Each structure stands twice: as C-alpha cells, then as structure tokens.
Structure 1
Amino acid sequence: MRLTVIGTGYVGAVHAACMADLGHEVLGVDTEADRIGALARGRPPFYEPGLSSLLQRVVDSGRLRFTRSTAEAAHFADTHFVCVGTPQGGASGAADLRHVDAAVDGLAPFLCDGGDRGVLLVGKSTVPVGTSERLRQRLHDTAPNADIAWNPEFLREGHAVADTLRPERIVVGVGTEHAEARLRRIYDPMLTNGTPFIVTDPATAELVKLASNAFLATRISFINAMAEICDATGADVLTLAEAMGADSRIGRRFLAPGLGFGGSCLPKDIRALTARAEELGLGGSVAFLREVDEINRRQRRRVVDLARRLVGGSLKDRDVAVLGAAFKPFSDDVRDSPALAVAEAVRLRGARVRVHDPEAVDNARSVHPELQYVLDVGKACEGADVVLHLTEWPQYHDIDPAALARSVRTPALVDARNSLDASAWRSAGWTVLAPGRPRLG
C-alpha cells in the first residue's frame, strides 16, 4: 500500500522506515529541510539502535522517500499517518496541538477533490481525549470524504524499531468498518505473527497512551516514595521492590527506585492527562498525578543531597564526575533529562562538573553549554571528589571500580539508578550511597 507519514521526528521517522520495511511505499513529509535532507540520504537525525541501517536499506530500495510538499503527499496516498509532536503547552501542562492542527489543515485543501477514494487520516500523536472528534468537525466542510482514526504509538526510546515491527499490541480507534479494514491491511504482517489487534472507538484509543504512561509513572513514583521511607528507617528499597514484585498481582517491572523518570513522554503525558481531566471538570479523579509528578521531581533534589553528604556538606569548589546525560540508556534524548537536571543543580551549588555520555554529549551541550563534557569515562572521573551514576548505560556497569579508584581524588559514588554492583564498588574501597538503601561503604 501507499502511505504518507506527516512529521518525521522520533515517532514519524521510525514509523516511516518500519512501514517501508514491511513492504509499503512510504512518503515522509516534514517542513524542516535539513531533516528531510538527512533522512533522504539514509541518516536519522537522532540516535536509535538499529534505525540507521534500516533507514538506509529502505531508502536505497526506493520504498521510502521524503518531501516537504503537502500537496505531493495528498496525491501520493489515501492513508496519512499524523506523527507530529504535541509538546507541553504553558503552565497548565496541557498538550500543545498546534502541529496536529497544522498537519490536518495543510492536507485538507488537497483532500476535497478525492472523490470516493476514501481518504483516511490516522493519528499517532499523543493527544487529549476528544481530539479526533474535534478534527473531524474541522474537516467537515473542506474534506467531507476524509475519515479519521487514532492509532497510538507505544515506542520505548532505545527499542523503537523492535517495538514498531514486533509490537505487544496494536490499538486502533475507528468509526467505520472501512477504516478498520484498511488498518488491518497495513498491519497484516504483525497480525499474521499473532500481535493482538485491539479495535475501539477513537476516544478510547486517544486515552490509552496517556493512561498507560500515567500508570507507569505512578509505579515509579510509588517505589521512590517507599525509598524515602527506607532512607528514614534503614530499610532496603531494593529488597522491598523484589519482595513486592514477587506478588503476581504486582510484578517487578517499573519498580526501579532511583532518580525517577524523564524524557519526552511520561512527564508531559501525566501533566496533559491532568489538564484534560480538569477541563472536563474531573480534576479530582486524577489529582494524585500531581503528587506523582512532585515525587518524581523530588528525586533529583535527593540525589543532589546525597552528593553533598559524600563531600562533607558543601559542593562548592568540588570536582564532580557525572556519568550519563541522556534521560535513559540507548538514546541521545536529553529532553527533561533527570541526569542533566542533577548535573546543572550540582554546578549551581559551586561544583566543577564533567559530564560523560556515550551518545548524548552533543544534545546535552546544546541545552547546557555551561557544563563541561568529555568523551572518555576516565577523563570525566579524573580527580573527582564524587562520581554520580545517573544514566544506566551498560558501559558504566563494566567499569572496574578498583582501577577507577586510582584516578579519583576520593572514592565516593552516588548510584542514583540503584543498578551498579554496590558490593564490588565497596570492596574496591568506595563509599556508596543510593536512594533508599543503607550506607554501603
């Protein structure tokens, strides 16, 4: 089938490449000339494992190409995936839908001559519940033959290619049998392999992504709240999480105590869901999400406090090594990165900060140029008074703590992700602090 993908950011670029890999003819559409140029040469504008080789392959095959022309897109295909961003807009936390509206408005004049072709707009952007109905009314006069469906994405940065080609489930919100049938054809390779295909109304499909992310964020903040209690009582949050996770009703996933969540999805989505509930007069139903958000923000301050404790109470004129800048491993995304937030907070308290990250240094420097960045872990830690482990890159798990102890000024570590082998570091002479755990050295 012929498809267009409107918006070639993180979601759009991955979706376009994967749809082409499934055998569809795909046209990616974006307004940014530099991004379109890079993608047309097979070069993704961000780091995502496996995407570079996949993109190059489908571009070379001719099944994927790119354009800045909305008119070309409208005439190329009858199915258009809308994958533009919906950033947080303003103090309320509500989603900013300007890019979604612009994408639909840009297509609309070229859809009115579509006759009986059956044009289908498929939203993949994360939007407030009720958006598809609003867009349907918006298109009523200019493109009455256009149908709208919602098909939320559930991509994990660092695993986006696999999540697209081998998803845990596909959710489609449709209003017509024709829309459902077309989406079944598009996703047929996944359905043949047994991927669950959940058909619902557009409003429910819009809500699924926000509700899922709110639930995951709540689990993370819950275990971090327990970590605060553990700090006050001497209990061990890792053992607590293990014991809780052994209950089949609870499970272990997303009970990872530490620095908390960041990135472009979870923080934004819980705020957007809260804002939409308040618009509907139901703010009380999700009031707890504001506390989920606050608990998460508090973890960053707690890690700074752990660092301060390890250097004797003041970070002024101390040398601090920061391991990690991306909000999570296997990504160069630094949007709302807890690691960068901690690094900047430490700097503002007078410390000299050196930051290392395997992939995110360039993006981090564009956001916080005042920090110092190095490309070698050893150089980052040389002469450090304290080392902060803030992003769970595998490279940091492979560090030899005994060897590193010889290059730092003081063997002191804050394992903000609770994922290093604390006993190995302690045996090598390090003092280790981690959220929710007894002093480990």
Structure 2
Amino acid sequence: MRLTVFGTGYLGAVHAACMAHIGHEVLGVDIDEEKIACLAECRPPFYEPGFQEVLVRTLDSGRLRFTTSPAEAGQFGDVHFICVGTPQRADSFGADLRSVDAVVDALAPHLRHGGLIVGKSTVPVGTASRLTQRIRTLAPAVDADVAWNPEFLREGFAVQDTLRPDRLVVGTQSRRADLTMRELYGPMLRAGVPFISTDPATAELVKMAANSFLAAKISFINAMSEVCDAAGADVMTLAEALGCDPRIGRRFLNPGLGFGGGCLPKDIRALTARAEELGVDQAVSFLHQVDAINTRQRQRTVDLARHLVGGTFSGRHIAVLGAAFKPNSDDVRDSPALDVAARIQRCGAQVCVHDPVAIDNARSAHPSLEFAADVSKACQSADLVLHLTEWPQYAQIDPARLASIVCSPKVLDARNTLDLALWRSAGWTTRALGRP
C-alpha cells in the first residue's frame, strides 16, 4: 500500500520505517524541515535501539522517503496515519489536540476520494468522531473514513513492538476501512498477532486505559514501599510474593522512583479531564491519587538523600546516575531522575549527572546542572551517589573501585536494581526505597 505518516517524531518515524520494512511504500510528513532532513540523511533525531538499521534499509530500498508537503502526501497516499504529539495542555489536565487538528486541516483539501485517515496518536475518547465532522466540513466532496489504531510502543523496544506487537487494536466506522487495515497489517496477522476490531471510541479508550492501569500498578507498589519503610519490611520480597499470584503478575511491579516520560503522566491526567467532561469524573477519581503517589516518590528520594548526607545539602557534592526517564532511551520528558537532581540542586548541593545517551537532551532541559561524560567523573569526591535510572551499565559498576574516588561511600538505589550486598561488602553505606 501507499501510506503517509504525519509526524516524524518518536512514534511517527518508527512507524514509517517499520511499515516500509514490511513492504509498503511510505511517505513521512512533517513541518519541521530540519527533522525531515535528518531522517532523509539517515540521522535519527532520537535514540532508539535498532531504529537506525531499519531506517537505513528502508531508505536504501526506496520504499521510504520524507517530505514537508501535505499536498504531495494527499496525492501519494491511500492511508494516512496521524502520529503527532498530544501533550498536556498548559491550562488544564486535558490533551492538547492542536497538532492533530492541524494535520487534518492541512491534509483534507488534498485527499483523494475514498482515502482512509488513521489516528495513532493518544487522544481523548470522541476525537475520531469530531475529526470525521471536521473533514466533512473542510472537504464535503470527499468520502474519507476515519479510524483509530492506538500505538503501544515501549521506548527502548519500539521497533520490536511495531513489527511484532502483542495486539493490534483497530476502531473503524465501515467494513471497507476494517478490510483495508487487515490488508495493511497482513504480515502481522499471518504471524498470529491478535487483531481486535472495534469502534473508534473503544480504540481511543484502550490506550489511555492501558496506560492508566499500568500507572496504577506502579503507584500501588510504590505506596507499599512507603509502608515498608515505616514498618521495617522489604518491598522487594513483597513484590516477589505478590507477583507469584497469576491474578497480579510480576511485570511492572517494580518499586522505585516512579514513572515519567511523555506518556503515562499526561495520559492519566487526560483521562481524568475527559471523564469530567463526560460527567463521570468520580469513576476515575482514584487516578488523582495514582498521580500523587508517583510524584511523592520523588520527594521521598530527596528526603532520604538529605538524611544520608547529614540533614543538609548545602556544600554537598551529589552524583546522579541517570538522566533519561527510563533506560535505552534519550527521552528526558518529565524525567524523575532530572526532577530529583534539580530539587537537590535547589537545596544547595553541587549535582553532577551522568547518563549513557541522554546528556545532550538533559543539558538542554536543565542547563544549570553539571554533567559528566563518564561515571567516574560524575562521582569524583561525591558525598552521595544516587542511582535514578536503571541503565544496565550501572548494575555492572565495580563498587570497590568507585569507593576509592568518592568522598563518602554512600549510595541510594532509587530503582532497586543494584546488588546492595555487593556494595556493602565494598564498604558502602546503602539505602533503597522500601528496603530495610
């Protein structure tokens, strides 16, 4: 098929390259000329394992190219994907849909008869219905379908999640659109990927519901870590025991600093905002507490760090391991690690941050923080080492060697992934959230 992908950020660029990889002809579209130029020259504007290799192959094959012209896209494509961002609005918890609307406004005058517009962006329920009316107003002579096909990408695994998804959810308004989507995703369906066919409203809700459920699971175990701290219990053993229950499961039951990034925080807030508009805000009122627990983990980490350095940050040197909101990514949007680092700096500490790939983005987001290119430089003469992003490289650190260059061998593992027994045997004072 001939596909266009509007928005070549993290979601759109990966989707475009992967759709070309399975055999479609794909045209990526964006208003950002610099981003388009980078992708066309095979220079990804973000870090994602495996993405550059797919980009190279599909560009070389001729099945993938990029443009800034909506008119070219309208004439080229049979199916048009909307993959632009929907950040939180500045004035409320609601989702900012201006980029989604801008795509429709730019594309509608150039649509070919019978085209299919497919939203992948995370949007409030009811968006597809609203866009259908918008297109009918802008292009009344065009018989275009609107469908919704939410993405379920995990940063760090986006290529794998696109090519081998655990499910495909497609909400359509016509049999023609449903058949088109089944043909488009034919290679996945032949490989046994479940195809869940539904209406657009349900498809829109699936993504926000999935993220909200995941956020609730993470916040639950973090709430238990706070109880464990008060009771002298061990949250890691608690999580292991809970995870053995098949009704609960162990995945994502990982106590620590909490979630961040560009999806979970803004999606749970957008769902509460949309529920309020629909008059059912009480049904999801618990999500406010989920959000609050997650935010409180950051201050708990700051407070424990302050205790470890003697009650004051003034004049202290704090080393921070991690800047990205999660490992295998250079994404620092709403990064818990950087938030904690900035809070500690504002309390008077000298803070130096290390991250394997996210330093440039972190420096742009927090120019007042210090950054180091390697762990040793970040930890030189440190009074405390904070482990805030669970990069696998940090679990491989030799604590005995590191102890020789710090001022005081103290470590706070806010992700519960270090071998604290090994660190203690090397002379370190160790602490972790929810562990005695």
> In which range does the TM-score fall when normalised by the shorter chain?
over 0.9
What is the CA–CA distance in structure 2 between the aligned matches of 1:106 and 1:140, rounded to whole Å?
A: 14
Q: What one-letter code is carried by the residue in structure 2 that aligns with 1:5?
A: V
What is the CA–CA distance in structure 2 between the aligned matches of 1:24 and 1:158, rounded to whole Å?
A: 24
1:343 partner SS: helix
Q: What one-letter code is carried by the residue in structure 2 that aligns with 1:40?
A: A
Within 5 A, what are the aligned runs for 1:12-411?
12-111=12-111, 114-115=112-113, 118-143=114-139, 144-411=142-409
Answer yes or no: is the 8 Å Cα contact 1:43–1:56 preserved in 2: no
2:138 partner SS: coil
Cα displacement string for residues 62-112 of structure 1 (whole angstroms, at most 9, x for unaligned residues): 11000000000000012100001100002421000000000001111112x
Answer yes or no: is the 8 Å Cα contact 2:306–2:313 preserved in 1: yes
Answer yes or no: is the 8 Å Cα contact 1:304–1:342 preserved in 2: yes
Q: State the aligned residue count.
A: 434
More displaced stretch, 57-66 vs 260-269 = 57-66
Give unpaired runs (5+ residues) of structure 2.
none
Cα displacement string for residues 341-387 of structure 1 (whole angstroms, at most 9, x for unaligned residues): 00001100100011000000000000100001111101111100000
What is the CA–CA distance in structure 1 between the aligned matches of 2:177 and 2:25, rounded to whole Å?
A: 19
Answer yes or no: is the 8 Å Cα contact 1:321–1:388 preserved in 2: yes
1:189 partner SS: helix
Answer yes or no: is the 8 Å Cα contact 1:3–1:78 preserved in 2: yes
CA RMSD in angstroms, aligned pairs only: 0.7
Answer yes or no: is the 8 Å Cα contact 2:354–2:378 preserved in 1: yes
1:66 partner SS: strand
What is the CA–CA distance in structure 1 between the aligned matches of 2:286 and 2:308, rounded to whole Å?
A: 33
Q: What one-letter code is carried by the residue in structure 1 that aligns with 2:129?
A: E
Seq. identity, %: 68
1:141 partner SS: helix
Q: What one-letter code is carried by the residue in structure 2 that aligns with 1:327?
A: F
Q: What one-letter code is carried by the residue in structure 2 that aligns with 1:54?
A: V
1:56 deviation in Å? 1.3
1:365 partner SS: helix
What is the CA–CA distance in structure 2 between the aligned matches of 1:283 and 1:234, rounded to whole Å?
A: 37
Instruction: State TM-score, norm by structure 1.
Output: 0.98
1:57 deviation in Å? 1.3
More displaced stretch, 362-371 vs 90-99 = 90-99
Q: What one-letter code is carried by the residue in structure 2 that aligns with 1:307?
A: A
What is the CA–CA distance in structure 1 between the aligned matches of 2:34 and 2:386, rounded to whole Å?
A: 36
Cα displacement string for residues 282-330 of structure 1 (whole angstroms, at most 9, x for unaligned residues): 1101111001000000000000111111111111110000000000000
1:437 partner SS: coil
1:65 partner SS: strand
Q: What one-letter code is carried by the residue in structure 1 that aligns with 2:138?
A: T
1:142 deviation in Å? 3.0
Cα displacement string for residues 232-291 of structure 1 (whole angstroms, at most 9, x for unaligned residues): 010110000011111111111111111000000000100000000001111101111001
Q: What one-letter code is carried by the residue in structure 2 that aligns with 1:120?
A: L
Q: What one-letter code is carried by the residue in structure 1 that aligns with 2:47?
A: Y
Answer yes or no: is the 8 Å Cα contact 2:170–2:200 preserved in 1: yes
Answer yes or no: is the 8 Å Cα contact 1:41–1:56 preserved in 2: no
Give unpaired runs (5+ residues) of structure 1.
none
What is the CA–CA distance in structure 2 between the aligned matches of 1:167 and 1:69, rounded to whole Å?
A: 30
More displaced stretch, 329-338 vs 132-141 = 132-141
Q: What one-letter code is carried by the residue in structure 2 that aligns with 1:104?
A: V
What is the CA–CA distance in structure 2 between the aligned matches of 1:190 and 1:299, rounded to whole Å?
A: 39
Q: What one-letter code is carried by the residue in structure 2 that aligns with 1:225?
A: A
1:314 partner SS: coil
